[in-house]
Amino acid sequence: MSRDSGDNLNRNRSANLPMADVMQAHLSRRSMLRGSLGAAVAMIAGAGLGGSLLAQAASPTLAPTRPTTANGKPVRLDFTSIPGSRTDACTLAAGYSAYVLAPWGTPLNDQARPWQADGSNTARDQANAMGMHHDGMHFFPLDGRSDDGLLAINFEYIDPAALHPHGPTSTADGKRPAEEVRKEINAHGAGVVRLSKRNGRWQVIDNDPLNRRFTTASRMLIAGPLRGSEHVKTRYSPDGTHCRGTNNNCGNGYTPWGTYLTCEENWPTIFVNKAPLPADQARLGVATSSGQYRWESAAGDASEAQDEFARFDITPRGAGAADDYRNEASTFGYIVEIDPYDGQALATKRTALGRFRHEGCCPGRAEAGKPLVWYMGDDSNNEYLYKFVSSARWDPADANPHDRLATGAKYLDHGTLYVARFDADGSGVWLALESTSQTTDGSTLGTRFGDLASILLNTRGAADAVGATPMDRPEWTAVNPLNGDGYVTLTNNSVRTPSTVNAANPRGPNRHGHIVRWHDSDDQRSFTWDIFVFGGNASGAADINRSGLSELNQFASPDGMRFDSRGVLWFETDNSETTLTDYTNDQLLAVVPTQLLDAAGQQVPIDASNQADLRRFFVGPNGCEVTGIAFTPDNKTLFVNIQHPANWPSSERATDVTAPGHSVRPRSATVVIQRDDGGEIGTA
């Protein structure tokens, strides 16, 4: 999400931004115990050493598990890190090849014409084809196979200049044309596409009955505490049980019962509210003069059906909620569950997991008899890290249910949403967001906000009230399958200042981002944490290059991230920091965290002594963000997405450079990466 999308502005007006003197007091106490007061003060002053100090203070409590392969050998990366690249092509590690699959506009069925290079595809075509700006995704095998399956995928946002023949237009009276608006609505959302590997090459299976699209107009179910509440009643659904559409689907998650979770991120600006904003809308950033794409301006068009455009103007106008769309925005901002194996089931908004600018939703390890857990970032400056803990305990018999969405209701509609407070001593607390929760001003969330539905509606406000730690734009989360450690990418924070740093976000401003790691207690109420790696440029000062990175792994703005089943951590970048853009386009890096151990066998962060184990595997074309990552069960196919490239792809071979002077209509696409010898991706 780096171009033409929603904003990541700081809307946190809470008092949860600690002053530097408070930070210094914390650090001074701890550092005196460690006999290193000078280093702590130096960190506060931004003069160096700080990152590793903090990280080392917390790391000894993290689990030291060593990963092993089936033959008992430790997992090790066996590719050579590649240099940066700034071309209209993908580059990748030696011994691998990459090709383009299912770019924007690829038909999913016969309702769509083939993609037209002149931009002339219709709204109907777009509703039956791959959407724009591929993002999070997950591979769901058919019959457990690694050569046949379903790719569930997000289409985050649109580039109107590329979507239409000559960019977006308006009519003489300033309205957007209905057909253009419908095409834009249909280019957003998510999809499921059947893929099959034939003669060694993955292909889209056109017209497969499981191929489908979910757009910003698709009928959906509302489930969980908001279902049927006053907050989600609309003229479309007066009983508050259904809604239309999903939007700005960024990161993703999945469940142990075979469903996909798509996350609604920068949706608030597709709406406009010209009346004073209620607290939740102000906290989330709903637009106040016009929607981002002015979809509302097509209202009243002779072809309009069921208020398809009017619903984006949420200004209260009727006698009550069932008479207008004042609550339309309250049906967005959720985790949405999709059953990829059922071509008819409605997508379902799981409101118990909170309402904010959801980035990703990674599950913890599923262990029989224990609650299930999902971790979630809220990507804006100074927002929070959340987790949801199910009330039901995991029954492995639910892994292959007859009705997947009923299983979803069991685990995702009842539970507790928590928000993280990172304390400076390397410990942390998960603060429950429920009506009895104490607020920092001595009240309770129930008193401040009302019932659970009302608390969840304004999740950010509730998190402010319990004293959560403002983070540097939490993007994706990932969980190490070998030991359960959680990781979150903190992409950057341009508005953090030296006076508002905290222990988990120690740079102000933070232009390069970092990755925080934690390990939860058995009761899910607390955790220990450290900073796993700091983004930075190799030539940066000590306070910038805190992890001792070299040219071969320097990065900034970590974003997409996942562990594969072997315990390799892969992360992607969405960077605009010039000390890195001058060297390389966005990229995919890999590291095996459980191989980074000290002499006592404890996990340690990345630092100058072990940084060579963080390796650059792939670099995308000019202008793009590398995002979305999925593996087949055998780890022999890796899918990544190229989002918003500038002048790519020019052929099916992802590594072909677009000829100088030649312009292509850019298409976001999935890139398939395979090892030339047919082996597993990345490891020996």
- The site map against ligand FEO for 505-544 (x = CB under 6 A) is ----------------------------------------
Q: Does 264 bind ligand FEO (CB under 6 A)?
A: no
Intra-chain end-to-end CA distance of the chain, in Å: 33
Q: Which of 379, 485, 607, 680 binds ligand FEO (CB under 6 A)?
A: 379
Q: Is 559 in the site for Ca ion (CB under 5 A)?
A: yes
| Residue 344: count of CB within 10 angstroms of its CB | 8
The amino acid occupying position 278 is: P
Find the part of the chain contacting Ca ion (CB under 5 A) among 188-196, 281-289, 468-476, 534-542: 468-476
| 180 sits near Ca ion (criterion: CB under 5 A) | no
In the range 349-368, which residues lie near ligand FEO by CB under 6 A? 359
Q: How many residues does the chain have?
A: 684
Query: Which residue matches tokens 């222990």?
Result: 503
Q: Find, among 521, 554, 519, the residue nearest to 535 by Cα.
A: 554
Residue 358 Cβ, how far from Ca ion at the closest point, in Å?
11
Identify which of residues 23 and 376 has a Cβ nearer to ligand FEO in the complex. Answer: 376
> Which tokens hold the place of 655?
């590594």
Q: Quick one: what does residue 520 bind among ligand FEO, Ca ion, none, with the CB cut-off 5 to 8 Å set by partner type?
A: none
| Binders in 564-623 for Ca ion, by CB under 5 A | 574
Strands (E), 177-288: 189-198, 201-204, 212-214, 219-223, 242-244, 249-254, 260-264
Shortest separation between residue 265's beta carbon and ligand FEO, angstroms: 5
Three-state SS for 415? strand
Q: Give DSSP secondary structure letters for 12-29.
A: --SS-S--HHHHHHHHHH
1 touching ligand FEO, by CB under 6 A: yes
Taking the complex as a whole, the smallest distance from the CB of residue 516 to Ca ion amounts, in Å, to 16
Rounded least distance, CB 248 to ligand FEO, Å: 7
Which tokens is 135 given? Answer: 């993002």
Query: Where in 432-491 is the site for ligand FEO (CB under 6 A)?
Result: 475
Question: Which residue, 478 or 482, has its beta carbon nearer to ligand FEO?
Answer: 478
Calculate the CA dihedral of residues 656, 662, 668, 674 and round it to 10 degrees. Answer: 0
Give me the 232-251 binding string for Ca ion, x by CB under 5 A, dash otherwise. ------------------x-
Q: Convert residues 133-172 into a mask of x (bound to ligand FEO by CB under 6 A) and - (unbound).
A: -----------------------x----------------
H or E stretch at 336 = strand 335-338
Find the helix or strand (DSSP H, E) in which 162 lies.
helix 160-163
What is the C-alpha to C-alpha distance for residues 377 and 471, in angstroms, rounded to an integer? 9
Q: Tell me whether residue 152 or residue 250 sits nearer to Ca ion (CB atom).
A: 250
378 touches ligand FEO by CB under 6 A: no
Q: Report yes or no: 361 and 335 within 8 Å, Cβ to Cβ.
A: yes
Nearer to ligand FEO, 262 or 439 (CB): 262
Q: Which residue is nearest to ligand FEO (CB)?
A: 1
Q: Is 55 in the site for ligand FEO (CB under 6 A)?
A: no
Tokens (6 digits) for 544: 């910038």
Nearer to Ca ion, 184 or 574 (CB): 574
State the number of CA atoms in the 13 A half-sphere of 379 facing the CB. Answer: 33
Does 250 contact ligand FEO by CB under 6 A?
yes
- DSSP-derived letter for residue 322 is G
167 with 207: CB under 8 angstroms?
no
Chain residues in the site for ligand FEO (CB under 6 A): 1, 156, 250, 265, 359, 379, 475, 559
Residues within the interface to Ca ion (CB under 5 A): 1, 250, 475, 559, 574
